[in-house]
Amino acid sequence: MTAETLTPDTLRPATSPTMYFVGVTTGSSAIHRVFAAWRPLLGLDDVELVGIDVPVGAEPAVYRRVVAHLRDDELSRGALVTTHKLDLYAASTDLLRRVNDDAARLREVSALVARDGWIDGHALDTITSQLSLQAIVPRLAGRDVLVMGAGGAALALCDYFAHRAGTDAPGRVVVTDIADHRLASIRTDIGGGNPAIEWVTHRLSPGDTHDELLAGLAPGAVVVNATGMGKDRPGSPLTDAAVFPSGGYAWEFNYRGELGFLRQARARADADGLTVEDGWRYFVHGWTRAVDAVFDLGIPTAGPDFERLYDAAQEVR
């Protein structure tokens, strides 16, 4: 079942306290079911959740229209932003009263908080990517990592490697994208980070696959699909002939869509000794962090209270 959504052209005043979800195909997201399950647990019974669908690569004026609406509408409380984190920040920085340190450094926004005619921007993926990765890979130290895609979520993950992983940092990180400016953002962010990490960036052409890069990874490597392929656009960054590193980890950032990469990884799981994970835990961490930022609820990142929310989400997945 698909929930009703808005677009930048159909925005209207909220009639009750409202949190928004700025994405591409928000109506089919599980968050509509999950948020309904969370409302009584979090004391948000009177809050509505509404999706705003924005096409990938929209013009700056489109992002500004969305941010201005959230800022100016009396009952708008904020939003989670997915897919558009970098572009929305670039288009709307001057509309934001302030941004947190991670947003300023990474030049991206994953949550917006609105009250009384002002709006603030937060980058939260540095936290959610760390929490999710640690649940998938028990020990990262010294491993190869291939990050396919260099958008906002990938940038936050690389930021964690460079600046926060410490003694658990990977030995080598390979990052790819089809856009030079996204790879440049990665290179800028990792500057001054952990000097023990070997960084490699690859500019690919549209339609290129990653099979050869995959073949060059050491056993036990971590392979991350952060391209958006399989959700925001069709396909996979690999061919069906791709062979994963033995004993490695395959992490699909998304949990819905055709998920071609996830299908390929699962097909190779036994032969290559893979641990395969989709984006569900990342989804739950991302949304709990955003809801907490918007409503200041003190939601923990672990422990019984977090697991209660995770279990409630799992029941309606």
Beta-carbon-side half-sphere exposure of residue 193 (alpha carbons within 13 Å): 24
pLDDT at 1 over 70: no
* Tokens read off for 287: 């949304």
* Tokens read off for 126: 């540095």
Return mean pLDDT, the chain: 95
Q: What is the pLDDT of residues 176-213, one digit of tens each?
A: 999 999 999 999 999 889 999 999 999 999 989 999 99
Percent above pLDDT 70 for the chain: 100
Which amino acid appears at position 32 of this protein? H
Instruction: Look at residue 158 in the predicted model and tell me its pLDDT.
Output: 96
Q: Taking a C-beta distance cutoff of 8 angstroms, is the pair 70, 50 a contact?
A: no
Q: What is the pLDDT of residues 214-245, one digit of tens each?
A: 999 999 999 999 999 988 788 999 999 999 99
Instruction: Look at residue 35 in the predicted model and tell me its pLDDT.
Output: 97
Instruction: Look at residue 58 in the predicted model and tell me its pLDDT.
Output: 96
Q: What is the pLDDT of residues 64-90, one digit of tens each?
A: 999 999 999 999 999 999 989 999 999
Count of CB atoms within 10 A of residue 1's CB? 6
Determine the 3-state secondary structure of 51 from DSSP. Answer: strand
Who's near 203: CB < 8 A, 6+ residues apart? Answer: 176, 177, 178, 180, 183
Q: Whose CA is closest to 228, among 157, 155, 287, 148? A: 148
**Rounded average pLDDT over 2-20:** 95
Q: Where are the alpha helices (DSSP H) in the chain?
A: 31-42, 60-72, 85-92, 101-106, 125-136, 152-163, 180-190, 211-215, 260-272, 280-295, 304-315
Domains annotated for the chain, with CATH where assigned, are 5-123+281-315 (3.40.50.10860), 126-278 (3.40.50.720)
* Tokens read off for 200: 């490699």
Instruction: Look at residue 233 in the predicted model and tell me its pLDDT.
Output: 82
Q: Taking a C-beta distance cutoff of 8 angstroms, is the pair 195, 169 a contact?
A: no
Q: What is the pLDDT of residues 248-266, one digit of tens each?
A: 999 999 998 899 999 999 9
Beta-carbon-side half-sphere exposure of residue 80 (alpha carbons within 13 Å): 26
